[in-house]
Amino acid sequence: MGILSEAPLVLILCTGNSCRSHIAEGILRAAAGDALRVASAGSKPAGHVHPLAIKALAEIGIDISTHRSKHLSEFLTEKVETVITVCGNADQVCPMFPGQVNRHHWGFDDPAHATGTEEEQFAVFRRVRDEIARTFQAYAAGRLDEAKLNA
Q: Of the residues 52, 54, 94, 112, which is catalytic?
A: 94
**How many domains does the structure of the chain reveal?**
1
150: in domain: no
Query: Range of 15's domain?
Result: 3-140
**Residue 14 backbone phi and psi in degrees, to 5:** -145, 180
Contact of 93 with 110, CB cutoff 8 Å: no
Q: What is the CATH number of the domain that holds 97?
A: 3.40.50.2300
Tell me if residue 94 is catalytic.
yes
140 — pLDDT class (breaks 50, 70, 90): very high
105: in domain: yes
149: in domain: no
76: in domain: yes
91: in domain: yes
148: in domain: no
Q: Of the residues 10, 14, 32, 140, which is catalytic?
A: 14
Q: Note the pLDDT tens digit of each residue in 87-132.
A: 876 556 666 676 667 889 899 999 999 999 999 999 999 999 999 9
Q: Of the residues 87, 90, 132, 140, which is catalytic?
A: 87
Tell me if residue 19 is catalytic.
no
Q: Note the pLDDT tens digit of each residue in 15-63.
A: 889 999 999 999 999 999 999 999 999 988 999 999 999 999 999 999 9
